[in-house]
Structure 1
Amino acid sequence: MEWLSKCVNSLYPSTCPDDCAASCLPPLQTTSLPTIRPTNSDDCPGCVKPCALHPIVPSQELRIDQSRPLYNTVPGYAIHFIILTGKTDWPAHLEDDNGGLAQALIEAIQRDKKKQRWIRDEPNRFLPLRLTTGTSATSTQLLEQKPSHRIMVTNASLPTRYSNQRNAHDVILMPDNVIIANVTPRRAMALLDFAYGCPSGFVTYPSPYADLLLVCGHRKKDKRCGTIGPMLLKALEDALRMCQVEAQVALVSHLGGHAFAGNLVIYTHQGQRAIWYGRVTPCHCLDIIQQSVVEDRIIQELLRAVFQAGCAKAQQEQQQQHCSSSASLDW
């Protein structure tokens, strides 16, 4: 994966010392939601009551959990495969998608668990960021724990653009943020090998999505996300147009935490940082675009977790060498 790292690193001018191999993204700042605006206001970023501009989320009818804390409700994960299916009518359980790529990839991951190939220091993976409540958090504030080996597999509504073989799909690999073309169910294990840095013969393309917003809209899995997901998709697209921001929004399959719907994952910095939000409503979407996409802030009240690309060894070196938070990521 070294060549992929070099491609991504070339997008960011480095100010890190030569011997600093840590992820040095701009620091995240926390922000609170604005106070509730009157319902006849021209805009309502962050409002938590029904307004005239957005559809009402029937939170009581859908039994959205409004009581449990959101923070730290996302299990750690190392990498994320996003399969571009061009549709949203996925089966309730992706592992039951007979002959589908998601099913084949999940089965390959299960077979591969015995190899324990993630138990090493150097692979690209996501690590959780620890955020101090009410204060800023830099990329050095990482949880001091063993990185997760979990691999996520998610179907997305984005269409395949490069694959031209039968039963083949494009797959986005995070945190590398590259598109792997012509992935078929028969090549699921080869895709997994590719993620570990093994030669595979796949053709790859740089992802055009510097900022990618994934909204859980898996209606066959859970009514809550199936109802709220399309609402958020439209509200986020409207907010992007209002702010004149170029980012991509897509509906995706099960992300976990349906009780906290709407669920949203925001990949920024070419996929190197992942912000997970819960209990999102259409009235939050303008604020989310302005704060989390444009200004690189997290909204504390919605936050489930933040993950950042890197490796455990690199993060330890960063802490020891006090690498500048404005420097580029060096995997």
Structure 2
Amino acid sequence: MSPKDSTYKPFAAYKMTATLKNFYYKLTPTSSSNVVPTLKKPGEFTKAATSEALFPTTDPAVDGDDCLHDCSSCTIKYPSKFTIDETEELYGHVKGWSTHLIVGTGKTDWVRDVADEKGSIMEAVDKGGEKPSNGKLMLSASNIPIPDHSDHSSTVLLLPSFQFIDHVTPANTPELIRNYVDKGPTNTSPFPFTAEKFSEEAAATSTESAIPPTISAPALQARPCPHKYLILLCSQKTRDARCGQSAPLLRREFERHLRPLGLYRDLHDERPGGVGIYFISHVGGHKFSANVMIYRKASAVKQAEGQAEEQANGSENKVVLDVNKAQEEEGNGEAAQCIWLARIRPEDCENVIRYTVLQGKVVKPERQLRGGFDRCKEVTSW
């Protein structure tokens, strides 16, 4: 970056700007330190006053000394000029969203604003006349493969319902929003949401297509996403080169730690359970690269809570992943949590898998936690 670049700032000026921003955050009502607890009604979500109130932090007394150390066997490194913002406060400043729509494009990079891609599903969702009735929709393009369909349709992944929806085209996105997004759970839907009712209603109304009757096209079809966990990595280098650099490296390192556990799933592996890793478009905060969003199904949350209870009761049995049993239990289910991390480096990946993905614990909350939600505890970071 050079002084000619419009975004260039001398380091002293940058540091002063970051300092003033942090001072502003601490004085504004949005800061987590100023949240006043209030009595809430059943089913009403509240803002977590601290990061610890949202997600537990690893504790060496419980988790062992490994949680204090980065991976020692990691050989993957970021480029020497890979620098990010290390001073600005992260937690509590993510804007809330209700649902997350991840569109399969088969690509890992896109035009700067994915909604500007002419003739795309992203453009139809963002600029079409049908808007979600249940809150803000986060829209992401992804490297989910485009199916080999004669109708040139694609597949989308809807969260937190953990549903794949097939045969999506720009023309039938109004139906997608009405029958799937609007009728599915949101990040602040008390858990459990009646997923069976959601699927039945969507199937019953899926014939109400926005496609003119003269055009023949398959009806939208929903199916469960089989993965128990999702790791979403921003890979959009057109927004920031660091995202394009970090995402492939992190995926390799995550894969290295998931394979021995039998949990790695590639883009075409739909065995129940496991961890699906997808590249997605810009989610904001590329100056905190790498951004990593982790969605966890409710069954994963309950399993981790059971393990924590065993440890608290002094159980001498070590937790062993029963992969076959986990796979049998998976197939249906919704996301109960999303843990949004930033400033992730390759050496962090082992503990992110071990503690955050599998147990829902954050290893370095003061440096890496941006926010998220927990539908079981009915709390969010916003």
Q: For residues 101-250 of structure 1, what are the structure 2 equivalents within 5 Å?
A: 101-108=121-128, 111-112=129-130, 117-118=133-134, 149-161=135-147, 164-194=149-179, 195-197=181-183, 199-201=205-207, 202-245=220-263, 246-250=274-278
User: Matched residues in 1 for 2:182 and 2:104: separation?
Assistant: 21
1:45/1:262 Cα in 2 relative to 1: closer, same or farther (>3 Å)?
farther
Q: Match for residue 114 of structure 2?
A: 94
Q: CA deviation at 1:63?
A: 3.6
Greater shift in the superposed pair: 265-274 or 169-178: 265-274
User: Where do residues 1-331 of structure 1 align in structure 2 (5 Å cutoff)?
Assistant: 28-31=55-58, 46-47=69-70, 53-58=74-79, 61-108=81-128, 111-112=129-130, 117-118=133-134, 149-161=135-147, 164-194=149-179, 195-197=181-183, 199-201=205-207, 202-245=220-263, 246-269=274-297, 270-299=334-363, 300=365, 301-309=367-375, 315=378
- Larger RCO (alpha carbons 8 Å, 6+ apart): 1
Q: Partners of 2:57 and 2:150 in 1: how far apart? A: 45
Q: CA deviation at 1:208?
A: 1.2
CA contact (8 A) 1:176 1:272 kept: no
Q: Is the 8 A contact 1:31 1:297 kept in 2?
A: yes
TM-aligned CA distance change 1:22 to 1:265, over 3 Å: same
Say if 2:143 and 2:279, in contact at 8 Å, map to a contact too. Answer: yes
Letter in 2 for 1:283: E
Equivalent residues of 1:261, 1:280 under 8 A apart: yes
CA distance change for structure 1 residues 32 and 307 in 2, over 3 Å: closer, same or farther?
same
Instruction: Tell me by how many angstroms 1:52 deviates.
Output: 6.8
- Output one character per residue of 1:102-138: Cα deviation in whole Å (capped at 9) or x when no partner: 1111112xx445xx833xxxxxxxxxxxxxxxxxxxx
The equivalent residue for 1:321 is none
1:86 Cα shift?
A: 2.0
Query: Following the alignment from structure 2 to structure 1, what is the Cα–Cα distance between the partners of residues 133 and 143?
Result: 30
TM-score, normalization by structure 2: 0.58
| Identity across matched positions, percent | 28
| Native 8 Å contact 1:243 1:290 kept in 2 | no
Query: Cα deviation per residue 1:194-243 (whole Å; 9 max; x = unaligned)?
Result: 21127333211111122110011111221111111111111111111134
> Shift in Å at residue 33 of structure 1?
9.5
Deviation at 1:258, TM superposition (A): 0.2
For the aligned residue pairs, the C-alpha RMSD in angstroms reads 3.1
- Structure 1: which 5+ runs fail to align? 1-19, 35-42, 119-148, 317-331
Kept in 2, the 8 Å contact 1:46–1:283? The answer is no
Deviation at 1:44, TM superposition (A): 10
Summarize the Cα distance change of 1:235–1:112 in structure 2 as closer, same or farther, 3 Å threshold: same
TM-superposed CA distance for 1:160, in Å, is 4.0
Aligned position for 1:145: none
SS at 1:105 equivalent: helix
Cα deviation code 1:139-194 (max 9, x no counterpart): xxxxxxxxxx2211111112245x73433111111111111110001111211112
Aligned CA distance change for structure 1 residues 167 and 213 (closer, same or farther; 3 Å): same
Taking structure 1 as reference, are residues 274 and 216 closer, same or farther at Cα in structure 2, changes over 3 Å only?
A: same
Deviation of 1:87 after TM superposition, in Å, equals 1.9
Give the length in aligned residue pairs: 246
2:206 counterpart letter in structure 1:
S
- Whether contact under 8 Å (1:45, 1:285) holds in the other structure is no
Superposed displacement of residue 81, structure 1: 0.4
Instruction: Pick closer, same or farther for the CA change 1:28–1:167 going to 2, 3 Å.
Output: same
**How many angstroms apart in 2 are the aligned matches of 1:67 and 1:33?**
26
- Aligned-partner Cα distance in 2 for 1:217–1:293: 20
Larger fraction in helix: 2
- For residues 105 and 289 of structure 2, what CA distance do their matches in structure 1 show? 22
- For 2:282 and 2:68, the matched residues in 1 are separated by 27
Tell me, in whole angstroms, the C-alpha distance in 2 between the residues paired with 1:84 and 1:45.
37
Instruction: For 1:169 and 1:77, locate their aligned partners in 2 and report how far apart those are by CA, in whole Å.
Output: 24
Contact 2:58 2:67 in 1 (8 A): no
Opposite residue 47 of structure 1, the aligned amino acid is D
